[in-house]
Structure 1
Amino acid sequence: MIALLAALSAAAAVGVGRIALPLLLIGLLQGDNLWSRVPLLSLIHPQVVVGILTSWSLFELFASKKLIGQRILQIIHLLFSPLVGGMVGAFVAETANLDKWLILLIGAIGGLLALVLQLVQIGWFFRLRGLPLWVVFIQDALCVVLVLLAFDAPSQGGLIAMLLLWLAIRSSGEWYRWYRKQKHSPKYHPD
């Protein structure tokens, strides 16, 4: 159960808006092993992975502060968040020495959680016509905190991940009500 909560915490870190930063933190927290146990990244030389993830983390950090950067990142994150969420979920499950089928299942759950959280962000982005800067800073901080909690306090990290999932479910209901209200408004003119 603890391994599942830790995997949910790491996958939620990917889903809240950053892809490279959670992977970079996971590798750096491993010490000398770096990404030797992370699926796909273990096939690439560690120095190359550090360079790519550092560059991409900086790009995510600076691009997320502008509207056009947020749009570009959302497309990329929508495509890659399930893959990276699955990778970090499987990695965290593997560190708990679980059976192979359970590692794959937890990886799939992590990928789905990251995708759901990313879809919620896209919905809020379009409804608000861009994310405010304070939300972007909260995303950055939450991403780091969730990765650290995945290894140091998996119960609390998993609880935060489940709370984020609950908020995502609540948001979908709010979007539906907002959409219905917009549809019945006299200003609504579908083409």
Structure 2
Amino acid sequence: MIIEVLAVLAVSAAAGMRIALPLLMIGFIESREFWSNVPLLDRIHPQVVLAILISWSLFELLGSKQLLGQRVLQLIQLALSPLAGLLLAVTVGRFADYSTAQLWLIGISGGLFAFVLQLVQVGWFFRLRGIPPWVAVGEDILSVLLVIYAFNAPEQGGLIAMMLLWLAIRSSSAWKKWHHSSKTVTKN
């Protein structure tokens, strides 16, 4: 049970960084039954899903390296990361044969985890006035690795996801200090 939860954390963290790329990876991992375990996507023809996810993944990969692309991606990913986290968490839960109530719980927690990580990204985007390209490349690589780890090494993937959550918590405290220091500078 713990291993499945760690796998859910790993794919939810991947959805918190990118949306289409982890969903595309799930399709390649389930090579015989493309997206048959992913809710909502199992109702769409696999070729249509493949075309949409490939084009969106390319936009994520290329657009995340430029400021305008980052702004567009931030808005869309902030809105859709909870849904992607939910879909990926439920998919891993289906592989683990969870009951319907457990799938709902896993799905909601996965969606919230992805949303929290996306909020942290938005915060860093506004604080730094753009994400450096090398960070965006790191997010792309980490997103793919987390999906692979969720199925092949869930302990390591879950550990990475928990470290990302720890970084998100540390970031929020750093933002609080930064915000308070900028208020005192403005008043003086």
Q: Note whether the superposition's TM-score is higher than 0.5.
A: yes
Q: Deviations over 1:45-79 (max 9, x none)?
A: 00100000001000111111100100000000000
Unaligned residue ranges in structure 1 (runs of 5+): none
Q: CA deviation at 1:100?
A: 1.2
What whole-Å deviation, never above 9, does each CA across 1:133-178 have from its counterpart, x for those lacking one? 1101100110010000000001110111011001101100000000
| 1:187 positional shift | 6.9
Structure 2: runs of 5+ lacking an equivalent: none
> 2:14 corresponds to which residue?
13
Q: Does 1:114 align with 2:84?
A: no
- 1:152 corresponds in structure 2 to 152
TM-superposed CA distance for 1:186, in Å, is: 3.7
Q: Which runs of 4+ in 1 moved over 6 A?
A: none
Aligned residues: 187
Provide the residue aligned with 2:173 in structure 1.
173
Query: 1:44 corresponds to which residue?
Result: 44
TM-score normalised by length of structure 2: 0.97
* % identical equivalent positions: 57
Instruction: Specify the code of the residue in structure 1 equivalent to 2:9.
Output: L
Letter in 2 for 1:33: E
Q: Distance in 1 between matches of 2:123 and 2:169?
A: 12
Q: What aligned pairs does 1:19-168 form with structure 2 within 5 A after superposition?
A: 19-168=19-168
What's the CA shift string for 1:86-132, capped at 9, x where partnerless? 10001101100111111111111110000000000000011111001
- Tell me the CA shift for residue 37 of structure 1: 1.1
Over the residues paired in the alignment, what is the CA RMSD in angstroms?
1.0
